[in-house]
């Protein structure tokens, strides 16, 4: 497991070091205004997911929310699960080789899902949701291990 953690750390550090320059080059001349709304290819959420109490239905690109109440620990933990990994994911997308960029950005994306699932296990009440959270953890941990192995092998040759 230490090999995986070291590989993740090394990948993240390398991606973070190159991301600012690559991001500027990659974004030059592109109209990024469309990224504030729903993205192409994003799944349409069921209506129940859009009408969470106290949240703006039109979330801005800075992820600010219009809350009419204090957020409880369960929701803070759920949001923190993705907040911790969003920067890593975006930085990793800027790695020059697209295959490596995809795999590198999927690692923190999967880790965000694991973090959110752990918040569900800690705070959730519904057994189906808790069982789903455990399935997410199990599957995502295996996929992260597979991606790290690819990066250490074939991906290192890209």
| Separation of alpha carbons 35 and 122, rounded Å | 33
Q: What's the pLDDT score for residue 1?
A: 47
Q: Could you tell me which residue, 109 or 19, shows the higher pLDDT?
A: 109
Other CB atoms within 10 A of residue 30 CB: 9
Q: What's the pLDDT score for residue 43?
A: 75
Please state at what angle helix 127-152 crosses helix 98-123, rounded to 10 degrees: 150
Please state, for a pLDDT cut of 70, what percent of the chain lies above it.
61
Query: Long-range pairs for 61-66 at CB < 8 Å and ≥24 separation?
Result: 61/35, 61/36
Q: What's the pLDDT score for residue 69?
A: 56
pLDDT tens-digit readout, 47-94: 877 755 544 444 433 444 545 457 888 888 888 877 779 989 999 999
> Helix H segments across 1-158?
2-27, 47-50, 73-92, 98-123, 127-152
pTM (two decimals): 0.63
Structural contact between residues 79 and 116, judged by C-beta atoms closer than 8 angstroms? no
Dihedral, 21, 26, 83, 139 alpha carbons, nearest 10: -110
Please state, for a pLDDT cut of 90, what percent of the chain lies above it.
41
Q: What's the pLDDT score for residue 50?
A: 73
């Amino acid at each position: 497991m230490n090999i995986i953690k070291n590989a993740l750390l090394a990948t993240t550090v390398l991606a973070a070091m190159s991301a600012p320059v690559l991001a500027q080059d990659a974004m030059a001349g592109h109209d990024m205004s469309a990224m504030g709304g729903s993205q192409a290819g994003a799944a349409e959420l069921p209506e129940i997911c859009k009408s969470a109490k106290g949240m703006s239905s039109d979330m801005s690109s800075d992820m600010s929310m219009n809350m009419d109440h204090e957020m409880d620990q369960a929701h803070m933990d759920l949001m923190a699960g993705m907040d911790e990994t969003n920067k890593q994911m975006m930085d990793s997308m800027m790695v020059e080789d697209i295959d490596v960029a995809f795999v590198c950005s999927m690692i923190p994306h999967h880790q965000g899902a694991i973090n959110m699932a752990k918040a569900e296990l800690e705070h959730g009440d519904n057994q189906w949701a808790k069982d789903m959270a455990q399935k997410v953890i199990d599957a995502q941990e295996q996929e992260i291990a597979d991606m790290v192995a690819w990066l250490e092998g074939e991906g290192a040759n890209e």
